[in-house]
Amino acid sequence: MEKIALYPGSFDPITKGHIDIIKRSSNLFDKLIIGIFKNSTKSKAWFSDEEKVEMIQEILKKEGIKAEIKIFNGLLVDFMYKENVNILIRGLRALSDYEYELQFTLTNKTLAKSEFETVFLTASREYLYLSSSLVKEVALNRGDLSFFVTENVERRLIDKVEK
């Protein structure tokens, strides 16, 4: 059976922590889909769905990573069923992620329409405390973003802050 993996997230914006998980998982499975949760109308996201796709596309191209990017809404398990996903990938940072991630995966297991396994990849040491919200906070305060995000994302963050 083909191993089709999905790495879902908000990616608002994609950080080097996410990229690390994407790179590592792209070598493990037959196919990797990066799933962007569609912004709801009430969402406070900084980036539109299209901007998120563009940023991720630029990174995949530059890094030579093979993965598909898809935007989805509704239940995660419905999307997984539609795309024949049998592996769900999540990243685990500090202990604080654990409880939420466990809840996330068990809830989805209960709702699932087809069998899947969740694979947790531990965050690399340098990205353990890196999150999209932290990156936005640094951007708002005009801090150096180069350690947290790639150049293309940094440029867009600065654009947003300046507007």
Does 17 sit near ligand ADP (CB under 6 A)?
Answer: yes
Q: Which residue in this structure is represented by tokens 């898809």?
A: 70
Pick the catalytic residue from 16, 25, 52, 132.
132
Applying CB under 6 A, which part among 6-14, 46-54, 55-63, 136-144 lies near ligand ADP? Answer: 6-14
Which 51-110 positions form the footprint of ligand ADP (CB under 6 A)? 90-91, 93, 97
Q: What is the dihedral of CA 158, 18, 42, 50, to 10 degrees?
A: 70
CB 52 within 8 A of CB 156: no
C-alpha 33, offset from chain centre: 10
- The reply to whether 18 belongs to the active site is yes
Pick the catalytic residue from 23, 38, 70, 93.
93
CA distance 77 to 81: 6
Residues of this chain that bind ligand ADP (CB under 6 A): 9-11, 15, 17-18, 21, 90-91, 93, 97, 123, 127, 130-132
* Residues designated as active site: 18, 42, 93, 132
